[in-house]
């Protein structure tokens, strides 16, 4: 049938999709090249630039500063050396020429950033993290050398309500002889923002009894006393930033007062305190204005080292989470292999690999029952009816379809493993995390549906030599049908292969690819068997007029798939993105209809429709890849008791003694949506969760999120859905992918 020529378009779109996935993974950051390297890394959330300041050139005894300047998008922030209740400090790893030695970051004064019931310390707006560099007397770049190559690997955590781990590779060619003073103002401002030491007394020296100190009182309070602060601060409300993490309650309200030139405060200790310093450095500064930074921070900070007097009370241990997580990982590893034995350096044991292969084969068989695959099954059924009495054509079609499915699964698996080996945080189903791929598949299925419905035929507007390709190459059509089946079906495999797909990350490449091949064989097996069993062919009716009606009926599963893909895109890019895709699909329908006309009407209508489609693409394609605002989704989640998942949130809540339930989900995951509308919406389940005061967190993996990918990998999983209960003092419990009310309620009863 002519509609099978669309399979060639499917291959083109799938190659574009694979290219888009690779491009987005390998070029996640845009950059500016300076000399032979990159000095600027730009992400959707920050702009990071490597700067240098050498007023007298690079020479022994002359000042030299390097630094990473981070400019944040509004409402986003990175972290200080002590991030507070959550977060991670920015990490700088230098590669410098011999004779240059980088010191510690001269951290500028941070700002207190409240996050719900927590408090973090970090930076908004633009901040420069300067690093002093010592030029040794042995520094000898050579008589012909003009530049010194400075390399930096930086990693940072940028957060708003969600947190995104990012990193960048920076290279800068630093002139050796000439002055590098273009960034002098930025380094001067950073020097002013660096906390100054408190000078107590005329000569900066006072007796120990009068020096800045912290006295432990009542087992849960620090009575802080600081002398030597400048007159300009006296009488003002101050912020205190401890350089030692996990000592004080960062978010607590505490009392402070001035007694002449002495500042005093009573600060509660953290209930989860893990550090007991005898000397506690802190930074003090005038309290910053509430809200997000809109301009440079003009406050001046002062650093005091508090001598801690008294005996520290025994702090609560926060390390209990790690053994629990380790136990969960062992349980997941055991589940992944069934009755698996331990692995060796050469790969998994034969029993583990056998269990994974059998699990993949069974998962592929079950995949034929998933709604994701229905549209492709419709295409195969139409093909079966056309060759109902041709056994040879059946067999060739079945073999070609199987080869297409198996090779496509292996190609996707190899791409995923290759990107992971390159350091990218992706998981199974990554192709539908790209709005461009989702929109391309929606366009492809729209064309298939219009062709099946009889709106257009390729023979009306293609040369006869091209239109007859299908007749000469029916085997290629079956092969491409298998490729198309994998494109739309692969995200639905996670519910049946969570453990097996997670195991592929630990297997050698040949064994991992064998698991993907078994998955493809399971998906293709029913059609392969039907192709070789004569009884199936005998049950099919003979070709006739009914086939045209059946073909048009099969257009409706295609349209239903388009509806699903538009909904997925709406979850990724918001209502504007979904609306833009619908407009473009209407334009696409207009173009193919116009090209199917005859005579002069075709010339005029085709010209107008193609010009209209180009204008629509120019106006609406950017909306498809936009990142939507999360406010509406967050409010909806909060109304239902669910809160967005962020790294470390579950562990923090559990540390406070409250159980947590995390739903790792995605809009393109059909099983996720089924569980959400059934088991997770069950009145008894909701009542049990409320009775146990379970915190509900939802990790939405609809778009690529490296933090969620890492969390799934830590649980031994590679795709969604994944459902996890975290319990105080006990290992996490990972539920089955297809939830039942009884399973969830039984787990809740054990909390």
Contact 284, 238 (CB under 8 A): yes
Q: Which of 580-594, 640-654, 705-719 has the lowest mean pLDDT?
A: 705-719
pLDDT for 468: 46
CATH number of 208-309: 2.60.40
**What phi and psi, each to the nearest 5 degrees, are found at residue 468?**
-90, 5
Residue 537 pLDDT grade (very low, low, confident, very high; cuts 50, 70, 90): low
Contact 103, 67 (CB under 8 A): no
pLDDT for 94: 93
Q: Which of 113-117, 283-287, 339-343 has the lowest mean pLDDT?
A: 339-343
pLDDT higher than 50, residue 464: no
Query: Taking phi first (over 0 means left), then psi (-120 to 50 degrees means alpha), and beta for anything else, what does residue 270 get?
Result: beta
pLDDT higher than 90, residue 421: no
The DSSP secondary-structure symbol of 344 reads B
Give the residue with greater pLDDT, 589 vs 161.
589
Give the residue with greater pLDDT, 201 vs 516.
516
pLDDT for 598: 76
Contact 276, 312 (CB under 8 A): yes
| Average pLDDT of the segment spanning 202-220 | 62
DSSP string covering 355-389: HHHHHHHHHHHHHTTSGGGHHHHHHHHHHHHHTTT
The DSSP secondary-structure symbol of 347 reads B
| Average pLDDT of the segment spanning 105-130 | 89
pLDDT for 491: 55
Residue 474 pLDDT grade (very low, low, confident, very high; cuts 50, 70, 90): low
pLDDT by residue (tens digit) across 484-505?
A: 667 666 555 544 454 555 555 5
Give the residue with greater pLDDT, 496 vs 155.
155
pLDDT for 107: 94
Name residues whose C-beta falls within 8 Å of residue 681's C-beta, 6 or more positions apart in sequence: none
Residue 669's alpha-carbon distances to 430, 504, 564, 703, 720, in angstroms, are 11, 20, 11, 12, 7
pLDDT higher than 70, residue 384: no
Q: 347 is written with which tokens? A: 């790969």
pLDDT higher than 70, residue 721: yes
pLDDT by residue (tens digit) across 505-529?
A: 556 777 778 887 887 888 888 777 7
Q: How do strand 78-84 and strand 118-123 relate by DSSP bridges?
A: antiparallel
pLDDT by residue (tens digit) across 632-684?
A: 444 444 446 788 888 888 888 887 888 999 999 887 676 777 788 889 988 99
pLDDT higher than 90, residue 454: no
Q: Judging by beta carbons within 10 Å of its beta carbon (0-12, 13-18, 19+), is residue 491 exposed, middle or buried?
A: buried
Give the residue with greater pLDDT, 405 vs 8.
405
- Between CA 69 and CA 588 the distance in angstroms is 46
| Average pLDDT of the segment spanning 431-442 | 74
pLDDT higher than 50, residue 344: no
Share of the chain above pLDDT 90, in %: 13
| Average pLDDT of the segment spanning 420-430 | 50
pLDDT for 544: 59
Give the residue with greater pLDDT, 615 vs 423.
615
pLDDT for 461: 53
pLDDT by residue (tens digit) across 259-277?
A: 888 999 999 988 777 778 8
CA torsion 645-651-654-655 (nearest 10°) is -140
| Average pLDDT of the segment spanning 598-622 | 84
Q: Which of 63-77, 178-192, 657-671 has the lowest mean pLDDT?
A: 178-192
Residue 402 pLDDT grade (very low, low, confident, very high; cuts 50, 70, 90): confident
Give the residue with greater pLDDT, 437 vs 131.
131
Q: Which of 158-172, 341-355, 468-482, 517-531 has the lowest mean pLDDT?
A: 341-355
| Average pLDDT of the segment spanning 393-403 | 80
| Cis amide leading into 568 (omega within 30) | no
Give the residue with greater pLDDT, 573 vs 243.
243
Share of the chain above pLDDT 70, in %: 69
Residue 79 pLDDT grade (very low, low, confident, very high; cuts 50, 70, 90): very high
pLDDT for 167: 87
Contact 177, 41 (CB under 8 A): no
Cα 85 vs. chain centroid, distance in angstroms? 22
Q: 562 is written with which tokens? A: 């388009």
Q: 177 is written with which tokens? A: 């002889």
- Between CA 41 and CA 191 the distance in angstroms is 24
The DSSP secondary-structure symbol of 118 reads E
Residue 405 pLDDT grade (very low, low, confident, very high; cuts 50, 70, 90): confident
pLDDT for 489: 61
pLDDT by residue (tens digit) across 53-62?
A: 888 888 888 8
pLDDT, mean over the chain: 74
- Between CA 112 and CA 82 the distance in angstroms is 11
pLDDT for 621: 83
CB-based contacts of 232-239 (< 8 A; 24+ apart in sequence) = 233/263, 233/284, 233/286, 233/302, 234/258, 234/261, 234/263, 236/286, 236/287, 237/286, 237/287, 238/263, 238/265, 238/284, 238/285, 238/286, 238/287, 239/112, 239/284, 239/285, 239/286, 239/287, 239/288
| Average pLDDT of the segment spanning 579-591 | 88
pLDDT for 432: 60
State which fold the 631-749 domain adopts: Glutaredoxin (3.40.30)
Q: 726 is written with which tokens? A: 């975290």
- Between CA 66 and CA 173 the distance in angstroms is 12
- What's the Rg (C-alpha) of the chain? 31
pLDDT higher than 50, residue 284: yes
pLDDT for 338: 38
3-state DSSP call for residue 326?
A: helix
pLDDT by residue (tens digit) across 238-264?
A: 999 999 888 888 888 888 999 888 999
Q: Which of 142, 123, 161 is nearest to 46 (CA)?
A: 123
pLDDT higher than 60, residue 394: yes
DSSP 3-state helix, strand, coil percentages of the chain (rounded to 5)?
45, 20, 30
465, containing H or E segment: helix 464-467
pLDDT for 81: 93
pLDDT for 11: 43
pLDDT for 553: 80
Q: Which of 52, 51, 47, 50 is nearest to 30 (CA)?
A: 47
The answer as to CATH 2.40.160 being correct for domain 43-193 is: no
pLDDT for 639: 46
pTM, 2 dp = 0.43
Q: Which of 57-66, 532-541, 614-623 has the lowest mean pLDDT?
A: 532-541
Q: Which of 278-287, 294-303, 425-434 is modeled with the greatest confidence?
A: 278-287
Residue 542 pLDDT grade (very low, low, confident, very high; cuts 50, 70, 90): low
Q: Provide the residue ranges of all domains of the chain, joining segments of one domain with +.
A: 2-18+349-624, 43-193, 208-309, 631-749
Contact 426, 569 (CB under 8 A): no
pLDDT for 37: 54
pLDDT by residue (tens digit) across 21-50?
A: 433 333 334 444 444 457 889 888 899 999
pLDDT for 296: 61
pLDDT for 433: 64
Give the residue carrying structure tokens 């059934």. Answer: 678
Give the residue with greater pLDDT, 571 vs 265.
265
Q: Do domains 43-193 and 208-309 have the same CATH topology?
A: yes
């Amino acid at each position: 049938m002519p509609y099978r020529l669309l399979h060639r378009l499917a291959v083109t779109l799938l190659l574009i999709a694979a290219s888009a996935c690779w491009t987005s993974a390998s070029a996640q950051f845009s950059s500016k090249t300076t000399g032979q390297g990159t000095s600027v890394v730009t992400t959707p959330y920050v702009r990071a630039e490597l700067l240098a300041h050498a007023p007298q050139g690079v020479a022994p005894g002359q000042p030299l500063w390097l630094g990473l300047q981070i400019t944040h998008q509004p409402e986003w922030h990175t972290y200080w050396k002590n991030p507070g209740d959550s977060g991670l400090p920015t990490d700088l790893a230098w590669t410098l020429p011999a004779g240059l030695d980088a010191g510690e970051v001269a951290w500028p004064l941070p700002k207190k950033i409240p996050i719900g019931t927590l408090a973090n310390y970090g930076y908004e707006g633009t901040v420069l993290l300067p690093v002093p560099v010592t030029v040794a007397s042995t520094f000898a770049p050579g008589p012909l050398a003009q530049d010194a190559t400075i390399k930096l690997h930086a990693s940072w955590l940028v957060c708003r309500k969600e947190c995104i781990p990012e990193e960048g590779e920076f290279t800068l060619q630093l002139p050796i002889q000439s002055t590098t003073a273009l960034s002098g103002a930025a380094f001067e401002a950073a020097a002013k923002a660096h906390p100054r030491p408190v000078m107590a007394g005329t000569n900066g020296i006072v007796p120990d009894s009068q020096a800045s100190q912290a006295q432990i009182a009542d087992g849960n309070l620090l009575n802080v006393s600081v002398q030597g602060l400048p007159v300009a601060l006296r009488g003002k409300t101050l912020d205190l930033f401890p350089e030692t993490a996990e000592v004080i309650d960062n978010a607590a309200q505490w009392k402070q007062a001035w007694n002449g030139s002495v500042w005093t405060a009573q600060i509660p200790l953290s209930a989860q305190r893990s550090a007991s310093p005898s000397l506690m450095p802190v930074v003090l500064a005038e309290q910053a204005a509430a809200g997000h930074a809109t301009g440079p921070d003009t406050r001046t900070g002062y650093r005091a080292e508090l001598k801690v007097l008294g005996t520290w009370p025994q702090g609560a241990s926060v390390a209990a989470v790690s053994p629990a997580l380790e136990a969960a990982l062992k349980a997941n590893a055991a589940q992944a292999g069934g009755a698996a034995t331990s692995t060796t350096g050469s790969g998994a044991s034969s029993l583990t690999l056998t269990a994974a292969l059998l699990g993949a084969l069974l998962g592929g068989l079950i995949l034929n029952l998933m709604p994701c695959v229905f549209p492709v099954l419709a295409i195969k059924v139409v093909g079966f009816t056309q060759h109902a009495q041709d056994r040879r054509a059946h067999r060739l079609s079945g073999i070609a379809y199987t080869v297409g499915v198996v090779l496509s699964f292996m190609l996707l698996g190899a791409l995923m493993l290759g990107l992971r080996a390159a350091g990218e945080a992706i998981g199974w189903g990554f192709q539908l995390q790209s709005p461009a791929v989702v929109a391309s598949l929606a366009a492809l299925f729209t064309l298939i549906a219009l062709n099946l419905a009889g709106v257009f035929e390729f023979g009306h507007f293609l040369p006869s030599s091209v239109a007859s390709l299908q007749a000469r190459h029916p085997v290629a059509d079956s092969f491409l049908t298998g490729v198309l089946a994998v494109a739309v079906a692969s995200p639905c495999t996670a519910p049946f292969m969570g453990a097996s797909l997670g195991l592929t990350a630990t297997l050698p490449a040949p064994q991992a690819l064998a698991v993907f091949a078994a998955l493809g064989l399971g998906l293709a097996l029913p059609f392969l068997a039907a192709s070789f069993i004569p009884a199936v062919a005998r049950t099919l009716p003979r070709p006739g007029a009914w086939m045209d009606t059946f073909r048009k009926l099969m257009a409706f599963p295609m349209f239903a798939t388009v509806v699903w893909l538009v909904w997925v895109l709406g979850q990724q890019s918001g209502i504007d993105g979904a609306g833009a895709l619908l407009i473009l699909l209407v334009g696409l329908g207009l173009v193919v209809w116009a090209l199917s006309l005859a005579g002069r009407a075709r010339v005029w209508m085709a010209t107008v429709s193609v010009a209209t489609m180009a204008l629509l693409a120019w106006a609406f394609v950017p909306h498809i890849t936009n990142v939507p605002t999360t406010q509406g989704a967050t409010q909806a989640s909060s109304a239902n008791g669910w809160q967005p998942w962020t790294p470390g949130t579950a562990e923090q809540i559990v540390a406070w003694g409250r159980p947590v339930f995390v739903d790792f989900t995605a809009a393109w995951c059909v099983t996720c949506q089924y569980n959400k509308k059934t088991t997770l919406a069950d009145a008894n389940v909701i009542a049990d969760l409320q009775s146990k005061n379970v915190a509900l967190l939802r990790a939405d993996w609809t778009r690529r999120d490296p933090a969620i990918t890492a969390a799934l990998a830590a649980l031994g999983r590679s795709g969604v859905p994944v459902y996890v209960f975290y319990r105080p003092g006990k290992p996490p419990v990972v539920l089955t992918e297809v939830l039942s009310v009884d399973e969830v309620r039984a787990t809740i009863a054990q909390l």
